[in-house]
Structure 1
């Protein structure tokens, strides 16, 4: 063996030794801090003011980007990265069914409420409440013949944990 071969072998062995001494990063979810106090809690949030003249609601929603959230989540559902389930019988929806619901009801434009299913954790040492969103569902606006908002209809449930 030549001196060059010895140097190459030494460099490779040194590199392997250094590589094996590195601490390994675990690919596990972050540990949730605090005591579980809601498992789950389900509630709805208005994300689009049904009345443009409602100053208080418009102020409350002024810094939210709910239409961006709707657009991004629907993009991931369409791509198959998030699973969508029928609201009534909890069966997984096909891509065709998802597209039909999105298009027939204009979810991008008519989503007025979002329902959240969350776990809540209370950290009594840090005095913090942490929320972990597990599922979301978009509610789209339903109007009467005169154009007045009658209520909201469920679209489908998106499971953020699968």
Structure 2
């Protein structure tokens, strides 16, 4: 009986040791593979449509850009409650009627002109690579002057991609 107790104790300790080796902090593991965090967060806007068709350089730069599926998927997710949508100005969680009003007045599917990203950046000096992780995004929709030219962009809503999902 003493022998089996020693074996049982040894097995338990071995199992605990192996289990504890696997229980590393998730963030530490991510950072180990991605490098060191050099931006937390960085916030910037990216133009995704060319408001001036005479600007050949912007046309060329955006020639392979198609955000239709991204906009469609985000709208579907916020409508279904899979992603929370927040007011850009005061950060309150938008109610369904508030959200629907923004979607209706903005025509995001056709008028999204820029996207604001909030990201974390990780630099891996060994691989000489930069990894970006988008935490939040916000679509900016075009607003026009009296002549129908794009005057600027208006904020729609913010989605937190790190938020708990359904």
Both structures adopt the same fold (TM-score exceeding 0.5): yes
State whether structure 2 residue 102 is matched by structure 1 residue 76: no
1:148 Cα offset (Å)? 1.6
1:67 Cα offset (Å)? 2.0
Match of residue 14 from structure 2: none
Q: Which moved more, 1:68-77 or 1:130-139?
A: 68-77
1:52 Cα offset (Å)? 2.0
TM norm structure 1: 0.79
Match of residue 106 from structure 1: 107
Match of residue 51 from structure 2: 50
List aligned pairs for 1:1-162, cutoff 5 A.
31-32=30-31, 33-162=34-163
Match of residue 12 from structure 1: none
TM norm structure 2: 0.77
Q: Which moved more, 1:128-137 or 1:57-66?
A: 57-66
The unaligned stretches of length 5 or more in structure 1 are: 1-25
Report the count of equivalent residues: 138
Give CA-to-partner distance per residue, 1:44-101, whole Å, 9 cap, x none. Answer: 0000110223221121111122122111111111111111100111000011111110
